[in-house]
């Protein structure tokens, strides 16, 4: 099995993006950020960073085949695009913005599952991590989308878990270099 080599700068970016995503969620969970607009901006910032990191991966890593690059490119563009839409429309009702966030994260989950299934040139634990995190992301974001009238704090908690789990996965893979 020929492994794909991840450049050190991309590994560092993955670790940083994952750690910052977790830290932003930590600010919310610790109650240091209480305004719904500020919370949405923090979560949107995490989505933007993850979208940018996916885009950077698609542009940099040249594995066998193009499926993984296309998946990362599309997911990255959707992440950055959705984050931009949310920031430019931050005055919209919270439930719409949270639904947009959940939809973008759901696409990130689909991308994780897809990449976990198709990447044969990485270690099995990394593939399993991709699939488990992707399925967790899908499950939680579907709950958000299916319950649009749920309490803000309940929806927020589900999205925070999604961002933290994805941040952990990104940090792990960046640290190890897969």
Q: Is residue 51 part of a domain?
A: yes
Low-confidence ranges of the chain (pLDDT < 70): 1-4, 63-65
Rounded Cα–Cα distance for residues 154 and 176 (Å): 33
On whether residue 74 sits in a domain, the answer given is: yes
Domain for residue 33, yes or no? yes
pTM: 0.92
pLDDT digits (tens, 9 = 90+) for 22-31: 999 999 999 9
Please state, in angstroms and rounded to a whole number, the distance separating the CA atoms of residues 64 and 169.
23
How many domains does the chain contain in total? 1
On whether residue 157 sits in a domain, the answer given is yes
pLDDT value of position 4: 65
Domain encompassing residue 25: 8-176
**Which phi and psi (to 5°) does residue 147 adopt?**
-125, 65
Residue-level pLDDT at 1: 47
> Is 2 a member of any domain?
no
Question: 3 in a domain, yes or no?
Answer: no
Query: Does the residue 31 lie in any domain?
Result: yes
Q: Is the residue at 1 inside a domain?
A: no
């Amino acid at each position: 099995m020929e492994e794909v080599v991840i450049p050190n700068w991309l590994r560092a970016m993955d670790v940083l993006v994952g750690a910052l995503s977790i830290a932003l969620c930590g600010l919310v969970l610790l109650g240091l950020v209480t305004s719904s607009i500020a919370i949405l901006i923090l979560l949107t910032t995490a989505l933007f960073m993850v979208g940018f990191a996916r885009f950077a991966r698609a542009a940099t890593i040249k594995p066998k085949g193009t499926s993984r690059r296309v998946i990362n490119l599309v997911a990255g563009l959707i992440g950055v695009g959705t984050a931009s839409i949310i920031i430019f429309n931050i005055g919209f009702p919270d439930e719409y913005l949270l639904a947009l966030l959940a939809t973008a994260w759901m696409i990130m989950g689909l991308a994780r599952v897809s990449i976990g299934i198709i990447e044969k040139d990485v270690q099995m634990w990394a593939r399993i991590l991709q699939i488990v995190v992707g399925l967790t992301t899908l499950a939680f974001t579907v709950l958000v989308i299916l319950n649009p009238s749920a309490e803000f704090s309940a929806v927020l908690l589900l999205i925070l878990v999604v961002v933290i789990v994805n941040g952990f996965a990104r940090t792990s893979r960046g640290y190890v270099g897969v």
